[in-house]
Amino acid sequence: MQVRFRILIISAVAMVLFASCNKSNKQGRYIPKDAAVAIHINSSSLASKITWDEIKQNALFKELLSDSSLPPFVRKVLDNPDNSGVDTKADIAFFMKKDSLGTFTGFTGFVKDMDKFKSFSIDFSEGGSLSEKSGINYISKAPVCIAWNKERFLITYNINNYTYNSSGNFSVKARDILTNTKDVFEIAEGNSLAENSKFTRLVNETGDIHFWINTESLTNDLFKNGGNFGIGLTNLDKLYKGSAAAATLNFDNGKISVNATSYSGKELGDLYKKYSASNINEAMIKRLPSKDVAGLFTFSFKPEGIREFLKLLGVEGFANMGLAKLGFSLDDFIKANKGDILFAVTDLKAEKDSESIKDANGNEIGKTRTKGSAHFIFATSVGDKEAFNTLIKAGERMGEPYRNDSLIMGPFFNKIAYNNNGQYFAIGNDKTSVDEFVNGSTTNNFDFLSKISGGPSGAYVNLQLILKVFDSEVKDSDDRLTYEASVKMWDNVCVKSSPYSDGMMKSSFEINLMDKNTNSLKQLNQYAGVIGQAEMNRKKKMESMMNDDIKAPVIDSVHIGK
């Protein structure tokens, strides 16, 4: 008995270890391994968060179903997706692939009812040619082809038939969509994403939707031979070779969260590993003199990495020549900066006073409804004080012509103020704020700081503050409907990244909602319904106005007074 129990324990542990080390996956089995974009949808997870009946109560959905021009088969599927014959509880996937003939997309999943799916496919293809081979059915009518058997289906759509040739010009070729679909439907496992370890890591993350971007495939044609824009850079492929991006989206209670991972090739990865910073400068953020932060972006880096990055691209010499014309060198720039950058917008307001709009001659041609105002500040930490003074003098010389422009750019540039204490440099449109930041007059412990800190970059957007600024400007009843729904919906956005490690850089995005207790997918459905209702109201008002114009009597001015 004890021996049998030990065998069971050992077997269980072995299975767990095997699963954790497994580099393959079933979700990518029918997606080409070189797909530029792939989206995996966890249907069962989404269904647990919102029902189809809830979606059908959406005002937009009801409006769609009331459209008399809607094809009967579409109406039937919208009423109940199971009428399509697709297994709506099984995972589905979408992909886009670039090849020598151009670009095509694919939509793949599992079949629940072959008869229903066949009927749906015939209607969807609008009379396509039907064929069958080795138990696989095809309906083809360019640019669409549908393939299915008793287990799964594939719908392909040809987006275009052109690609870039070696000269960077368009080359047009014909695509046999039927043959193309057969090749993808019968794809070998080794040619699919099933054996891609990075894709496996992605789909093993708990999530409602998984996004995969093969950056190398997506950008290869665009920057081939130094780029198709004549920029003449021969090493651009080092930026995207071996690169990819992956993201997992979750509709959680009170928020929409995205966990993203970016992968880079070896050479670029080595630069990230050596020169990326470990954390943003929190003390720098706390120096912001206002608590009313509408938006903020900050990142930290090691300035020495700039030179190595330019060397990687083979443009260090060009950079030095360009900077020399501005009055400083690449060495000056690297020495001047310590590596902390901050940009923030604060004190956003909508002032009541109107502002005149003038033409090129200074004549008033109208007035704005209100005069919006905000304080913006750009700041950086200072490395070498003398080198930074060189940058400041160069900036003053470049800005002088604009300050002398009294009509267009002058009013803007003359409001710009800057300050430098040898530790921090700040520039902005409000001198008091700039001086307070540089002097460290205040210390604000922002609530959002913990949500954006912990890596080399972070960002924050206060959606509530931004929305409420425009409260007095919303006059129309339908605009008010949309506005109030937005205020009740959106709270803020927080973004942060993690230090580069093991060939990847992770980041997280949180779109936080005001209602913290309801699933965000349900909230989005309700929000879309309100927005849709407001739009339908506007449409009806416009139609009513047009009808009134048509019905209005036409007065012949020739007969007036006779």
Give the model confidence (pLDDT) of 319-354 as tens digits: 888 888 888 899 999 999 999 999 999 999 877 666
In a domain, 220, yes or no: no
In a domain, 476, yes or no: no
In a domain, 27, yes or no: yes
Q: Do residues 156 and 272 both lie within one domain?
A: no
List, for residues 33-85, the tens digit of each pLDDT value: 999 999 999 999 999 999 999 999 988 888 888 888 999 999 999 999 999 99
CA distance 332 to 303: 11
In a domain, 5, yes or no: no
In a domain, 297, yes or no: yes
Question: Residue 467, SS3?
Answer: helix
CA distance 98 to 37: 9
CB neighbours of 409 closer than 8 A, spacing ≥ 6?
402
For residue 267, name the pLDDT band (cuts at 50, 70, 90). confident
CA distance 361 to 525: 51
List, for residues 159-168, the tens digit of each pLDDT value: 877 665 555 5
Q: Do residues 453 and 388 both lie within one domain?
A: yes
Q: Do residues 335 and 416 both lie within one domain?
A: yes
Which of 461, 481, 514 lies at the terminal end of a domain, its last residue?
A: 461
Q: Do residues 197 and 294 both lie within one domain?
A: no
Which of 187, 213, 239 lies at the terminal end of a domain, its last residue?
A: 213
The residue among 117, 111, 49 whose CA lies nearest residue 84 is 117
List, for residues 118-166, the tens digit of each pLDDT value: 999 999 988 889 999 889 999 999 899 999 999 999 999 998 776 655 5
CA distance 188 to 142: 25
Which two structure tokens, joined as six digits, stand for 460?
A: 């924050």
Question: Residue 121, SS3?
Answer: helix
The pLDDT score that the predictor gives to residue 99 is 86
- Is pLDDT at 283 greater than 90 in this prediction? yes
Q: Do residues 29 and 160 both lie within one domain?
A: yes
Q: Do residues 272 and 207 both lie within one domain?
A: no
State the residue range of the domain holding 50.
Answer: 22-213
Give the count of domains, the chain. 2
Q: Do residues 85 and 189 both lie within one domain?
A: yes
In a domain, 167, yes or no: yes
The residue among 453, 508, 463 whose CA lies nearest residue 342 is 453
In a domain, 333, yes or no: yes
Q: Do residues 276 and 367 both lie within one domain?
A: yes
CB neighbours of 13 closer than 8 A, spacing ≥ 6?
none
Which of 428, 461, 494 lies at the terminal end of a domain, its last residue?
A: 461
The pLDDT score that the predictor gives to residue 13 is 37
Q: Do residues 281 and 372 both lie within one domain?
A: yes
Which two structure tokens, joined as six digits, stand for 281?
A: 């400068």
SS (H, E, C) 205-242: CCCCEEEEECHHHHHCCCCHHHCCCCCCCCCCHHHHCC
Which DSSP symbol is given to 360?
Answer: T
Alpha helix stretches (DSSP H) within 427-489: 431-439, 449-452, 463-469, 477-489
List, for residues 158-195, the tens digit of each pLDDT value: 987 766 555 556 666 778 899 999 999 999 999 999 99
In a domain, 499, yes or no: no
Q: Do residues 294 and 208 both lie within one domain?
A: no
Q: Do residues 34 and 146 both lie within one domain?
A: yes
Q: Do residues 298 and 396 both lie within one domain?
A: yes
